[in-house]
Amino acid sequence: MWKPIEWISPKEIERHSMEIIEREMPPCNFSPEELAVVKRCIHTSADFDYVHNLYFSPDAVSQALEVLKKGPVIVTDTNMAAAGINKKALKRLGGTVCCFTAEEKVAEEAKIRGITRAAVSMEWAAKLEGPIFYAIGNAPTALLRLYEMIQEGQVKPAFIIGAPVGFVNVKEAKERICSTNIPCIVPKGRKGGSNIAAAICNALLYQIKSDKDTDKE
């Protein structure tokens, strides 16, 4: 026999999901602010491995919040990650989301140079003004190019979410970002994804209180 369907109102689904996560989550030593990020990743993926693989550089959450309060440009490597970020919460802070990967000229340049569009998109993003908050959720080549530009002194990100997913150069790209002095949040290993990059952004945005606490809608 099938388990009976549990009918829950739309407004209660997330709260009920978080209750299940809290009940099933293994013991951990995260701060309350870090835990909110971990739980949001689990809520997005139904994967409790994020309890073990999510890396926070020292004071990462507090530094991320300070950057977000300045209304940064959040640069992503996919339109999917860009679409998943809560625009209402970000707009309230004066921030915007930008993704160059699908631009026709980026594709043309990548083809001529024999590199990925994601790598070229990081070079385009480096020309933006103001604090740049990177949220990489797909291409390790984007993270590797970003690392190279940091080492070359071409760019100094205000913050990095390094969450590409896959099997080729993914762990290596993440390890390089974690070795820099740039504040970051990185799910170590092969796991990640555009949805995880967006989830981390949202978990941070939701920690910045507004006059009307309705930004999750």
Q: Which two tokens stand for residue 169?
A: 């150069």
CA distance 201 to 174: 17
Q: What's the farthest any 2 CA atoms get from each other in the chain?
A: 62
DSSP notation for 4-51:
PP----HHHHHHHHHHHHHHHPPP----HHHHHHHHHHHHHH--TTHH
DSSP notation for 67-102:
HHHT-PEEEESSHHHHHHS-HHHHHHTT-EEE--TT
Catalytic residue among 39, 43, 145, 174: 43
**What is residue 185's three-state secondary structure?**
strand
CA distance 67 to 90: 11
43 catalytic? Reply is yes
Task: Provide the total of helices (H) and of strands (E) in the chain, helices listed first.
Answer: 11, 6
Residue 98 phi, psi (nearest 5): -140, 135
Specify the pairing of strand 54-56 against strand 184-187: antiparallel
Sign of the alpha-carbon dihedral angle for 68, 70, 157, 140 = positive
Known catalytic residues are 43
